[in-house]
Structure 1
Amino acid sequence: MNPDYVIHPLGDRAVTLRWEQKIDPAIHQEVMRIYHHLRVPSSPYILDLIPAYAALTIVYDTAQIRRYERISGLRWITGYIREKTTSRESISFPAPRELQIPVCYDPSLGLDITEMAASRHVTIADIITWHTQTIYTVYLTGFLPGFPYMGEVCPALATPRKAQPRLKVPAGSVGIAGLQTGIYPLASPGGWNIIGQTPLRMFDARHSDPCYCRPGDRVQFIPITLDVFKQIQQEQ
């Protein structure tokens, strides 16, 4: 079996498996397959696995490998990856979680939705319909803790990042950048085009699993009114 990825060293404690660098559900499915294959059961030398669009980063304990395996960490991890990913052993991994995330698209929260509609000569209702008609894949979380990068939006919604980022984007803001959509889990500077806001906490440090979304999740946005948004927000 010839893997479709290439292994790149990342410092002396990690490697990255890189597939063809593009947004592709089939490639990401392979990323997640290898992620679960290495995760269950995991070697005690592996400290972290970080999946992305078309890459998987593996952090390992190079000191313990040298101590117990008497070889370099890079040599061990490369062999381990090859062994695990070429094994004929079949594994089962959980089906993607199906999440419905409520979003209020009122212009008071969707800071760019009016401009986006006007630039396309459509109504705000059209923008909402386009955004909610797709079930998105969470390809990775990053930038901020729990920020889910999702794709792809329909071509009619594709919008370049703003030339001048805002100094502060409110937590829960739902934005579009290129063919991606995402949610700001915390208030932050940002250049995505904001079309709405969810009342849900996308990152909550009080929980053992603080991130609302995980790589591999399937997400559908559900439109809600401003009154419902405020009610859910108060209940959080």
Structure 2
Amino acid sequence: MGSEFGVGTGMIDTAAMRHAMVASQLRTTGVDDVRVVAAMASVPREEFVPAESRTLAYRDTPIPLGRGRYLNNPMATGRLLTEAAILPEDRVLLVGAATGYTAAVLVELGATVTAVESDAGLLATARAALPGAVGIHWVEGPMADGHAAGAPYDVLLVDGSVEELPAALIAQLRVEGRIAAGIVDKGVTRLCSGRRTEGGVGVVPFVDAECVVLPGFAKPAAFRF
């Protein structure tokens, strides 16, 4: 890992912090898929945050990554992964890869991941945190565009909140493919899930929760006379 993210954790007991995250933030908030809990208990979250924030890595709060971006809080990511019902060998389009934490958890669950990120610096950190990772294809570009060359995907996972799900992302999901994403609705972030069908897409909220807002997904401003 690079120097910004790569200093040691000193005397921090990250294993104990990971255990506390599982006990107090995941199991108590509806993250009830035992495979998701086990994967999040296994992946060292502190390796995906800036060095100065490592003591915050397991708190139930977004972690600043610089340039206005944040690593999603564990509960939001855990609930999205649970609702997505990730299966071994699922092909997942991950939108909002950030520093690679959620991609690492998805691989731990047995998925093959196409991880899209618009911030070149964050993507460089993700690659450095997971050198030679098998099962992850990193894509630098507008998150709203996804990665059509790898379609169709079994799952669309947006690890953050967006004002709307672009048609370009939905089109890259196979029919009956699953969706889990945060949606910004009148200033409130809601975690949502659903499926693509022959007739379109159906996504419904399942909980109001803090979920970081991703750039590049603003709805076009309504025309005013």
Tell me which interval the TM-score lies in, with the shorter structure as reference length: under 0.3
Structure (1 or 2) with the larger CA radius of gyration: 1
Higher relative contact order (CA 8 A, sep 6+): 1
Q: What TM-score comes out, normalization by structure 2 length?
A: 0.27
